[in-house]
Amino acid sequence: MLDKLKYPIIQAPMAGGVSTPALAAAVSNAGGLGFLAAGYKTTEDLRKDIQEFRNLSSNIFGVNLFVPNLNEINDNCNVDDYRAKLEKEALLLGTTVGDPIVDDDDWHNKIDLIKEEKIPVVSFTFGCPSTETIKELKQNGSFVIVTVTNLEEAKIANESGADALCLQGIEAGGHRASFSNNMEPHEEYGLLVFISIVKKEIDIPIIAAGGIMDGCTITAVLEAGASAAQLGTAFLLCPESGTNTVYRKALTDSDFTTTHITRAFTGRRARGLVNYFLSTYDKEAPAAYPQVHYMTQKLRKEAVQSNNPKYMSLWAGQGYKLAQSLPAADLIKTLMLQVNK
């Protein structure tokens, strides 16, 4: 599947509204592989996104799903204490703290939809589906990718039948794709080292993700053994993306100077621009996902509506300062010109 792409560029599936059908279609039409993000969406909204993509493009595309791990919900997480601390912020913003909901992101219905729609490429984050689920998807015609953050996860995905691995280096923006949320992270690798480690042990196609912002880095990961490069932050400023105005401004604002991995916004580790909320609550947040996500959801939405980046989850990789405000097709053309120099 990956060798059928005109260009070895994959647009990362960024949940929360950034990965629009328009962005995915623009990338696929330009010769890359566009992705829709199923995370946080209802099954019906995902169905609408798939239809909208197909109205814009006849090329292959992918859908990314969050793998639920309800058995890992930690009852000892101090969710109530964190909620109490968030109440004062909610009061200042004129909103309320959400309920600490636990759900599976409509997992089974989304899997059924993927089968029904015969999605060409399906990727998974936050875990590895069962061997049976992967087998069923492959028999239905889907190319299955599992996102991993360490060698142990890569081996599990390989043994479960994944067609390819998406290796997420520590440089990546947004959520760490770790299978386990409650456990302390394994040693975390920069992308090039991670590729070398996995290539030595596993012989299936690799997609490289994390900190890739230009053609030079794409060339480097391809030479290291990757079959394609997955870029997320690089597409944030494209007009087709769903990046809101406040978020776009923050990415180019000199007030934001660094990124950090935190649990503050969702209870899962994720890299974003350092702002007031991240700095204040980084060490306070429990490892409780999706409870914390739902607790802070109203605060984050109100922050967007009031043009207040201090409380927003401004996900970004370490290379965010290299992001360009170009249409997706132009960005891919620019990247490939750099690759072919």
Read off the pLDDT of each residue in 5-30 and give the average, rounded to a whole number.
98
Whole-number pLDDT of residue 186: 76
User: Across all residues in the chain, what is the average pLDDT?
Assistant: 96
User: For the segment 129-150, what is each residue's pLDDT rounded down to a tens digit?
Assistant: 999 999 999 999 999 999 999 9
Whole-number pLDDT of residue 74: 60
If we measure between CA atoms, which residue out of 120, 123, 186 comes closest to residue 149? 186
Quote the CA–CA distance of 300 and 132 in Å, as a whole number: 37
Q: Which residues of 187-217 are buried (b: 16+ CB within 10 A; e: fewer)?
A: ebbebbebbeebeeebeebbbbbbbbbbbeb
Instruction: Order the strands of the 61-66 sheet from edge to edge.
Output: 9-11, 228-231, 206-209, 164-168, 143-148, 121-125, 61-66, 34-37
- Compute the half-sphere exposure of residue 310: CA atoms within 13 Å on the CB side of its CA: 8
Whole-number pLDDT of residue 71: 72
Whole-number pLDDT of residue 184: 73
Beta carbons of 86 and 299 less than 8 angstroms apart: yes
Quote the CA–CA distance of 142 and 123 in Å, as a whole number: 10
Whole-number pLDDT of residue 219: 98
Whether residue 75 has pLDDT greater than 60 = no
Predicted confidence band of residue 69 (pLDDT cuts 50, 70, 90) = confident
User: For the segment 217-241, what is each residue's pLDDT rounded down to a tens digit?
Assistant: 999 999 999 999 999 999 999 999 9
User: For the segment 261-303, what is each residue's pLDDT rounded down to a tens digit?
Assistant: 999 999 999 999 999 999 999 999 999 999 999 999 999 999 9
User: For the segment 97-134, what is each residue's pLDDT rounded down to a tens digit?
Assistant: 999 999 999 999 999 999 999 999 999 999 999 999 99
How many other C-beta atoms can be found within 10 angstroms of the C-beta atom of residue 13? 25
Q: What percent of the chain has pLDDT over 90?
A: 94
Beta carbons of 329 and 183 less than 8 angstroms apart: no
Beta carbons of 261 and 269 less than 8 angstroms apart: yes
Length of the chain: 341
Whole-number pLDDT of residue 201: 97
How many other C-beta atoms can be found within 10 angstroms of the C-beta atom of residue 183? 10
Domains present along the chain, CATH in parentheses: 2-68+104-243+323-338 (3.20.20.70), 75-102+257-313 (no CATH)
**Dihedral sign from CA coordinates of 199, 201, 206, 207:** negative
Whole-number pLDDT of residue 73: 64
- 62: exposed, middle or buried (C-beta count within 10 Å: 0-12, 13-18, 19+)? buried
The torsion angles phi and psi of 45, rounded to 5 degrees, stand at -65, -35
Beta carbons of 285 and 270 less than 8 angstroms apart: no
Read off the pLDDT of each residue in 81-109 and give the average, rounded to a whole number.
96
Quote the CA–CA distance of 291 and 72 in Å, as a whole number: 12
Geometric angle at alpha carbon 139, from 137 and 141, rounded to 5°: 75
Read off the pLDDT of each residue in 161-169 and give the average, rounded to a whole number.
98
Whole-number pLDDT of residue 228: 98
Whole-number pLDDT of residue 113: 98
Q: How far apart are the first and last CA of the chain?
A: 26
Beta carbons of 143 and 120 less than 8 angstroms apart: yes
Read off the pLDDT of each residue in 181-198 and give the average, rounded to a whole number.
90
Mapped onto helix, strand or coil, the DSSP state of residue 273 is: strand
Whole-number pLDDT of residue 78: 87
Instruction: Order the strands of the 270-273 sheet from edge to edge.
Output: 174-175, 270-273, 259-262
Predicted confidence band of residue 70 (pLDDT cuts 50, 70, 90) = confident
Predicted confidence band of residue 185 (pLDDT cuts 50, 70, 90) = confident
Read off the pLDDT of each residue in 48-60 and give the average, rounded to a whole number.
98
Whether residue 76 has pLDDT greater than 70 = no
